[in-house]
Each structure stands twice: as structure tokens, then as C-alpha cells.
Structure 1
């Protein structure tokens, strides 16, 4: 079979959807040498060149024009299957003769449109219903997302397969000697909480900063490190830091990946993920793979991701967030317990297994 895939989000600095595309397609290509793959990208995308049965097709355009050019090329190539890991535009434009596997990460545009980029929210709300109708099969990245699709669109549950995200195997515990060297190079504070994710309203950083401010009053030697690019409507987050006079205690580092992020997970007193809504939530898994105690929201997909291996809090309660952080500061046994449970929980997810589920779907189409 000939299979076309949109890998546009797998290049450059990646967030959740980009990492899903990058790892699920890499692992799919590792497991499937029989089918031929056409990988559509906007830029040169490292990580796929070594696969002999994959052809990378770079389409040099932007925005909607890129999608139209890809559709035109797909029609010329006439693949049997098209996999859409992130965007709904191409699935809507393609003829039904090309079987589409549509990936739905979340329904944030429907449930929290006021907390999402307005343009992106409009496009998703306008296209998703049609994309779902045309799709041969749908992938949901969590049980929660599957349930959201069924409830919102009265969708046939048998057409939806759950294919979870995971965390890279690059995230793992690091020896003390290597961490000491990293601390000296970076001048990190001795005690800090860590948060990872794009700076945008849905990630709920404002409540986190409020909660941390309370913790810092009792434990002035603690800091908060936030890793993530500025996203939509990020300015309020910086304003909240100023309002609480935390400019010297809250450190926003921008985008990080690889060894630097792995080291931060290993060194943090705890990882805090107070998001209001997630389709999956990869960062808590990354933290658990490193042995970092996790505090996470009790909403959407997060309880199924972290299981009983994290402290679950209401993202709307600053007091719950504060108390959870204080418990990690005070209780070493709790930290050790969460660390061991987290390492075990993280093993339940793997990109290899998720890619195997995708390949099974492909074979059945």
C-alpha cells in the first residue's frame, strides 16, 4: 500500500501534537517495511531520512496554500490511505476514495474556545465535524478524548480507536555526578518546582503563580521554573509575576528539550501541571520517567495518564495547589512514594506500542 502522512508539525520546536507526529510515525516506519510512505512537510524534517520506504515531500508554501498544494499532490500520487496527525484541513478537502485516519487530540476549541487561539479555534470548530464524517477511522489519544468526541458529535464509538501518546525514552533518571555538573554550568537554584508547557491561558499558570507565591512566603528559598514558549495571550502570566513581586523567584526559560529538560525534571522538588483541559498531557509522563513527583489537575485526560501516581488537585483551587506543593516540601516519604509509583506508571505507555496499534488499524483498512 501507499500511505501519505502530514508530518508538518514534526519539524522545529515541538509541543504535544508535534511530538505525537514525530514519534508515532518514526515508530510506525520502524515496524512497517512493507508499505510505502509519502511524508508531507513544510520544511526539512530531521529524523525520517534513514527509512528506505519513506519519501519526504517538502512543499514550500505557507498557510492554506500549503494544504491545497498537498491535496493536489496527494490526488496525483493516489495513496490508499492518508494519516492526519494534527490538522483537519486536508481530510476535509480530500476525496472519499482516499481512506483517511484522522487523529483528534482534544476538543479544546469546543469546550474552552476563550482559552485558545481564536483563528485555530475557528478553523477546528468549522472543520472537525466534516472531517469526522469523511474519516474511515478516528484515533483519540485518550479515553477522555474518545468520550468527548462521542458526546459532542454523537459519533459512532466503534470508529474510534484509542492510541495513546507517550514520553520519549530520552527522559530517565540521571546520576548525581552529571546533575552536579549541570547545576554548576547553569547556576540553578537548589530548590525549585518545575512546570512545562506553552504559556497560554489553558495551562493555568496564573493560578500556579498565585499558589507558588503562598508557598514562597513560607519557604523563601524555593523557586518556580517554567519551561515553554510564549503562546496565545501570554502577557497576563508575566503580569501576574509582577503583581506578586516574584520576578526573582519565578524563572521563565523558554523552550527546552533533550538533556537540559531531562536534568530539570531530575532536579525539581516536584512537577506541577495545573492545566484546565488536556487531550492527553505528555509532560507529566516525562516527569514520572525521570522520577520526579507529580502534581496534576484532576480534569479531562490527566487522571488516566497519571493514575494513582500523582497528587491530583482541582485546577481552580489555588489552596489545593499550594497544599500539594507544601506536602512535597515537608514530606520526604511522600516524595519517595510518588517517585516509585511514577516510574512504574510511566512504563504503561510507549510509542512502540502505540505505533503497533496504528499499524494494526492500517492493515484492517
Structure 2
């Protein structure tokens, strides 16, 4: 209920701003199109300018084979329940792989599910909130980022994981292709599809690295704001 109230407050605020803005900056063409359609904004005044803070670090240890990580909070659209079930189904087939999650303890229902799965013998490691200072090390330990989110405005985690050398298994949705060409994709609404993507990683030599399609334009953004 609160989430809906916040959403509509933001929408109403944007409606008030539309007549007084002569330039809009967004991070992807997907959001540009949605912004234009939602608020009837001329696309000629919407500039696409992706920007993000780079991760820094020098973690140099070998990656853990068959390791998967999803860095995210516990909001429903992040799709953790399907991810966890699909991983467990995958693990049942060969007793291989490990899954690292970053769910805060306040997400009681989800953390309890993870604890139950761990008791059943599934190698799921919930490390809780991860600071940006630790993200580079976490990504660099893992072979794959798995990204089952149902919706993203930008998909920063995809970019970060690619820059840290992870292969990418992601939802077959438009937001994914805005930022990268992933290693593998799946239907995020289908547990079996997610499980099959996990299974495909067992032939890892034939799984390509993802290709990033965007660059950090923070310098350009600062110049625009200064002028």
C-alpha cells in the first residue's frame, strides 16, 4: 500500500514538472520511450545518458567454479522465490553449484525460506547487505551473475558484474538488452526455464562472456549540470 502511494506521488510530481522542463535525461532508450508515452513528452528533448559509479578493487583470487550470485534487496519484482526454487531443482540434478544472495534480515519470510533450504542441504549463502566497498570482491569470487528481476529501470547489477568479469544469466526482458548482450537468458516467470539456464552453465567452456552495450557518461552529465 505504501509502495503504491509513493509511486503515485512521484507520478503526480512529474506531471507538475513536465510543462517546465526543456530537457530530460534518462539512462536507457527503454525508459525514454516509457517516459514519452506516459507523460506525452516530445522524444527530441529526452537524452539517453547512462551513468553509474564504477566498482573498484584488486581481488585476484580464482573464481569459485559453478558459483552464482544475485545482489539485490528483497522487493517482490526481484523474483527471489522462483530463483531459489529453480536453483534447488538444478542442484537436485547433480549436487553442483552454490548460490549467494544479499537479503537483509528484515525480510523475514524470504530469509526464513533460505534458512529452511540450507537446513535441507542446499548451498545457498545469504550474506545480507553488501556495501559498495565489498561488491567488487563478491562479484570477483563468482563465476556467474544470475539476474531474474521482472523489471528494472537500468539494471546496474548487470553492468557491475560484467565489469568484474562475471558471465551473465539474465531475464529475457527488454531491460537486459538495453545494457548488455547476456551469456544466457531465461523466462523469469518460468521456474523450469531458470533451472534449464542453470543446467546450461555446466558446459561452461561454450558459454560466452556477456558484452556490455553502454558506457559511463558521468563526466558528460556533470558538464550538463554545470552549464
TM-score (norm 1): 0.55
- Which of the two has higher C-alpha Rg? 1
Please, which of 65, 90, 106 is the counterpart of residue 215 of structure 1? 90
- Give CA deviations for 1:52-89 in whole Å, capped at 9, x if unaligned: xxxxxxxxxxxxxxxxxxxxxxxxxxxxxxxxxxxxxx
Q: Distance in 2 between matches of 1:251 and 1:157?
A: 44
Residue 185 of structure 2 is matched in structure 1 by 312
* CA gap 1:332/1:300 in 2 versus in 1, 3 angstroms: closer
Contact 1:270 1:293 in 2 (8 A): yes
Q: Is residue 2:199 matched to residue 1:333?
A: no
**Runs of 4 or more off by more than 4 Å in structure 1?**
none
**Could you tell me the TM-score, scaled by structure 2's length?**
0.84
What is the CA-CA distance between 1:209 and the residue it aligns to? 0.8
Q: Distance in 1 between matches of 2:32 and 2:79?
A: 23
1:286 Cα deviation from its structure 2 partner:
1.0
Q: Distance in 1 between matches of 2:105 and 2:27?
A: 25
Match of 1:139 among 21, 25, 35: 25
Residue 111 of structure 2: aligned partner: 238
Q: In 1, distance between residues paired with 2:169 and 2:179?
A: 12
Instruction: Report the secondary structure of 2:38's partner residue.
Output: helix
| Partner Cα separation in structure 2 for residue 322 and residue 292 of structure 1 | 19
Pair 150,221 (structure 1): closer, same or farther in 2 beyond 3 Å: same
**Which structure would you say has the larger RCO, counting Cα contacts within 8 Å and 6 or more residues apart?**
2
2:176 aligns with: 302
Unaligned runs of 5+ in 1: 1-113, 181-188
RMSD: 2.8
For residue 269 of structure 1, give the secondary structure of its aligned residue in structure 2: strand
Post-superposition offset of 1:313: 1.9
Rounded to whole Å, the distance in 2 between the matches of 1:262 and 1:300 is 26
Matched, 1:292 2:166: yes
The residue number in structure 2 matching 1:162 is 48
Give the equivalent residue in structure 2 for 1:79: none
